[in-house]
Amino acid sequence: MLYCSLLFIYGFLPVSLGIYYAVPKKFKDIALLLESLVFCGFFGLHLLIFMSAYTLVNYTAAQLTFRASRRKGILRVLPAAAGICLDAGALLFFREQWLFLLKGLFSVPENFFPIGISLFSLSAIGYLLDVYRGNIRAEKNFVRFALYIMMFPRLIMGPVVNYRSYLLILRKRRYNIGEIGSGMILFVKGLAKKVLFGDWLYMLYSAVKGCDFAELSAASAWLGITAYILCLYFTLSGFADMGAGISRCFGMRFPVSFSYPVFSGRIRYFASGWFIQPVHWFREYLTKPLSSQVRSKNLSKGIFVAVWVLGGYWFGFSLGGAVWGALTGASILAENRLRNVRLLKSNGIFYTFFITSFFAVFLSTGSVPDGLRYMWVMTGGSGIPADALAAYLFRAYIVVILAAVYASTDLFANTIQRIRCSKCGAVVNVIMPFVMPVLLMICTSVIACTGSSDAMIVRL
Amino acid sequence: MKLSNKITGCVLILFICFFSLATFFGKKKDYSDKENRPLADFPEITGQGLMYGDSGRELNAYMADHFAFRDSWIALGAGIGANVGEAFINGVYVTPERLIAADTSYRHCLPENAAAVNSFSENYDGAVYFAAIPTSAGIYSDLLPPYLAASTEKQMLDGFYGTLLGDIRKIDAYNILKMLSENYIYYRTDRKWTSYGAYCVYRTVIQKLGFMPVSYDKYTIRHVTDGFRGDLYSRAQHMESKADILDIYEYDDGTEIVRCRAYSSDGFVYDKELYDLAAGETDSSYKLYLGEPAAVVTLTTTVNNDRRLLVIGDEFTSCFIPFLTKHYSEIAFVSPKYMSKGLAEYLDPGDYEQTLFLLGIDSLETDVLGKIND
């Protein structure tokens, strides 16, 4: 039951919200945990069992780490190291394809995938590291810790926040209708991003991807990769917005995960605006501590790129993902070096989009040889600059692409903001209660036939 | 702004609650006439289903099937889908003239079917004829954008015929229909052929079987309904596509059908009519031809030549059978799709001196002929 299914929107969400607001303040955490358990249960009891075990293991590991902090040597490191190894091992085990042989050994049911494992394992590892370093005390309240790992609005697409910020968000919970209103608006926005833009662009992308690369024209290839990068953005950020919106309905204000990265002025901005929290996590827990250990500037640059490789691998769990990470990391370094070149300065948006979509080929194909072949087509290597397919797809999708490009920049949000601040700000406030239900209606009608939208599911 | 958010929040919550309650308390239907298919039942709660999350998925399917005002939602969704981006809804491509099933995945006829036909032919004394009928997607593939028309049914057919034994007589229905594609040989809202399409192929088939075809001008054609909406319409729910006409071809040469006996998949034996005119009036009007699908239908006619024909087919065949009844004293029409046991349990193929396989090509993509040799 993903957020974009009828069962969730018209069944689980209103019921869980009703229960949450009906119970007294004392029991709200427990209610939310029980609801999250039911949410996991919808994906199968296997997930429920897995999540419970995962939470229990991490809870225990954190307690032991905290107790061991007064000891010296191996005994001090052991609990944290064991916990982190288990978490990382679980992540690798479930996401890496070639470990399927091992799955038979552990009699893991076929098709079982703990949804959101990439994100909550980052949370768990970060938490253990924080406890080990003494930044925070180990959480004694099991309910609160369990919510940190498996709270249902955060389960699918994060955001990965550190435990200290999480506690702050929990403490600052606000229960009022205004908060629910902003939450619902954010949810509907996210739903529209996923079901409308994400799915339509996915149709375009799959039209190109289904073709034989040898017969593909350069124009089609560029259309395809543009659709891919926009589709990925709208799908991921749609899920993130839906999650954040639901959290907000429950009174919690989690930060946004994407800040209009696709059309950024610099590759660096692209990289920092795309999946903000995981990028931040990798910087906080890997790049910074490792760089502080080395003196040599070149070595720290090497570490920077290496962490990007790891980040890319974390995203795709494929060689293509790692190559994407390496290229992105390296291009950020190159950009820093060349930042004073006037030509680059004035063409920021163009070169950033050009380069990031070029690299995104590796994310899309997952394998390096296929990625290289696709790139070869993009540069005109197939000898066909444009063909009937490209013309057809262009004609059919130009409106969708233009709308998606517009919506993926901050132009739209800024326009709304500017109108709000101007004299006719009241207009926005008046039409909002009409626009949002219509948007929800459109999204519902699009998913009504199958009951859910599963065009592009990114397994994170 | 705060007030606006509050109002928006209230409106959205009310909107959601209204449809949740309407769905929860609304009357549940078992069958969707508009979509021509049974709707999902409330999922049975089993340990297995709960463990693997199937119950959750089934519950969502149930919710989707019984969602309040489902038909209107789907129509709205189809209207949006047809006008934004490609006119490609639930695997159906919408063109001004007709709806066409389109699939980006690789389609092919299963070799198991060829093997089954070959082994049937080897154990059979009479003559075996084979006609695979393309769907409307095969004949009208040039209306599709290039990437959707990737695997053509022509290639599928040629490949399949190539694997059949040499003494099976193959009938090239594809080229007959392709040449006539300007005519009303396929329904606009269905993947199947019209009675006229069937007639055009009948002319060739019956000559191969050793008879002279009845010429077109001898038929009286009766339009039973002009409101037929086929399976493609059900999938796409595209309101603007025009409904189709169902025809009956009648020719009075003095012969008539004495008995039409059906053996249903669950073992019942009953008599029925060649045309179920009552069904023609309903939403599932394709049942006009031979009524409810059955495993085996045997037709006895007053044709006095003691010729017997075994036809193995599917939905494509049911509007083809009426043309054959003018030539044989007995016809057995077998639908392997609805057989719950082997063919020999129903009849002895040796009683029939000719066997005609006449199946839609989409049936050959599934293991449909598995039971004919049992």
Predicted pLDDT of residue A13: 93
**pLDDT digits over B296-316, tens only?**
999 999 988 889 999 999 889
Cβ contacts of A189 on chain B, cutoff 8 Å: none
Cis, bond preceding B322 (omega within 30 deg of 0): no
Taking chain A (460 residues) in runs of 10, the rounded mean pLDDT of each run is 88 92 91 92 87 92 86 82 89 78 69 84 91 87 91 86 90 88 92 90 85 84 90 90 92 88 85 86 88 86 91 87 91 85 77 88 86 87 82 87 88 84 80 88 86 72
Q: What is the dihedral of CA A75, A77, A78, A83, to 10 degrees?
A: 150
In percent, the amount of chain B with pLDDT more than 90 equals: 18
pLDDT at B199 (0 to 100): 93
Q: Is B142 on the interface with A (CB under 8 A)?
A: no
Residue B77, chain A, CB below 8 Å: the answer is: yes
pLDDT band at B104; cut points 50, 70, 90:
low
Q: Which residues of A touch B234 (CB under 8 A)?
A: none
- Range list of H helices, B238-344: 277-280, 315-318, 321-324
Tell me the average pLDDT across B81-108.
80
Which residues on B lie below 8 Å from A444 (Cβ)? 19, 73
Average confidence (pLDDT) over B321-343? 89
Q: In angstroms, what separates the C-alpha of A182 from chain B's closest C-alpha? A: 6
Q: Which of A1, A3, A6 to mutate to test the interface with B (most CBs of B within 10 A)?
A: A6
How many CB pairs below 8 Å do chains A and B form together? Answer: 177
Identify which of A55, A224, A68 has the alpha carbon closest to the alpha carbon of residue B147. A224
Q: Is B257 helix (H, G, I), strand (E, B) or coil?
A: strand
Q: Return the biggest CA–CA distance within chain A.
A: 71
Summarize pLDDT for B115-149 with one digit per residue, the tens: 999 999 988 888 999 999 998 888 888 888 877 76
Q: B81 in contact with A at a CB cutoff of 8 Å?
A: yes
Q: Pinpoint the alpha helices (H) of A256-296.
A: 267-273, 276-282, 288-293
Residue B244, token pair as written in the block: 């189709």
Is B76–A177 a contact, with Cβ atoms under 8 angstroms apart? no
Q: Tell me the β-bridge partners of B271.
A: B261
Choice between B109 and B283, residue whose per-residue pLDDT is larger: B109
Q: Measured between alpha carbons, how far apart are the two ends of chain A, in Å?
A: 15
Q: Burial-class residue A118 by CB neighbours within 10 Å (0-12, 13-18, 19+).
A: buried
Strands B88-89, B92-94: pairing kind: antiparallel
Which chain B residues are within 8 Å of A211, Cβ to Cβ?
147, 150
Q: Using CA atoms, how far apart are residues A106 and A367, in angstroms rounded to an integer? A: 28
Measured distance CA(A128)–CA(B243) in Å, rounded: 65
Which residues of chain B does A13 touch, with a Cβ-Cβ cutoff of 8 Å? 16
Note whether B98 and B136 are within 8 A (CB): yes
- Interface check for B111 against chain A (CB to CB < 8 A): the answer is no
The residue among A321, A213, A214, A337 whose CA lies nearest residue A268 is A337
pLDDT at B150: 55
A118: enclosing H helix or E strand: helix A117-133
- For residue A11, the chain B residues in CB contact (below 8 A) are 20, 63
Confidence of residue B35 (pLDDT cuts 50, 70, 90): low
pLDDT of amino acid B151 = 60
Chain B residues whose CB is inside 8 A of the A177 CB are 6, 9-10
Cβ–Cβ contact B65 with A under 8 A:
yes
Q: How far from the centroid of its chain's Cα atoms is residue A105's Cα?
A: 31
Search chain B and give the residue with CA nearest A444: B73
Name every residue whose Cβ is closer than 8 Å to that of residue A39 and which is 6 or more positions away in sequence: A1, A12, A16, A152, A155
Packing angle of the helix pair A177-192, A218-249 (nearest 10 deg) = 160
Nearest CB neighbour to B12, from listed A46, A203, A440? A440
**Cβ pair B147:A13 closer than 8 A:** no
Interchain contact, A11 vs B20, CB within 8 Å: yes
Of B10, B16, B76, the CB nearest to A177: B10
Say yes or no: B32 contacts chain A, CB-CB below 8 A.
no
Q: Where are the domains of chain B?
A: 2-68, 111-364
Which chain B residues have a beta carbon less than 8 Å from that of A200?
84-85
Q: Is the Cβ of B150 closer than 8 Å to some Cβ of chain A?
A: yes
Interface contact flag, A183 B84, Cβ < 8 Å: no
Touching A: B residues 174-213, CB under 8 Å: none
In this predicted structure, the answer to whether residue B53 has a pLDDT above a threshold of 80 is no
> How distant is the Cα of B316 from the closest Cα of chain A, in angstroms?
27
CB B339 within 8 A of CB B294: no
Measured CA to CA, the distance from residue A346 to residue A344 in angstroms comes to: 6
Q: How far apart are CA A59 and CA A445, in angstroms?
A: 43
- In angstroms and rounded to an integer, the radius of gyration of the C-alpha atoms of chain A is 23
The continuous run of DSSP H or E covering B247 comes out as: strand B244-250
Contact between A184 and B60 using a beta-carbon 8 Å cutoff: no
Q: Does the ipTM surpass 0.90?
A: no
Q: Cα(A216)–Cα(A389) distance, rounded to whole angstroms?
A: 9
B88 with A203: Cβ contact below 8 A: yes
Rounded CA gap, A24 and A190, in Å? 30
Q: What is the DSSP string of A384-442?
A: -S--HHHHHHHHHHHHHHHHHHHHHSSHHHHHHHHHHHSTTHHHHHHHHHHHHHHHHHH
B64 near A CB under 8 A: yes
Judging by DSSP bridges, how do beta strands B257-263 and B296-301 pair with one another?
Answer: antiparallel
B7 at A interface, C-beta within 8 A: yes
pLDDT at A258: 86
User: Residues with Cβ < 8 Å from B26, sequence gap 6 or more?
Assistant: B66, B68
| A127 to chain B, closest Cα gap in Å | 30
Report yes or no: B144 at the A interface, CB cutoff 8 Å.
no
Question: Closest-CA residue in chain B for A14?
Answer: B17
Q: Which of A115, A197, A449, A450 to mutate to test the interface with B (most CBs of B within 10 A)?
A: A449
User: β-strands B127-133, B169-171: how paired?
Assistant: parallel
- B218-251, pLDDT tens digit by residue? 999 988 888 888 888 877 777 777 888 888 898 8
When CB atoms are compared, the residue of B6, B63, B70 closest to A181 is B6
Contacts of A44 in chain B (CB under 8 A): 50-54, 56
Are B4 and A432 a contacting pair at CB < 8 A? yes
Q: How far apart are the first and last CA of chain B?
A: 74
Residue B312: count of CB within 10 angstroms of its CB: 25
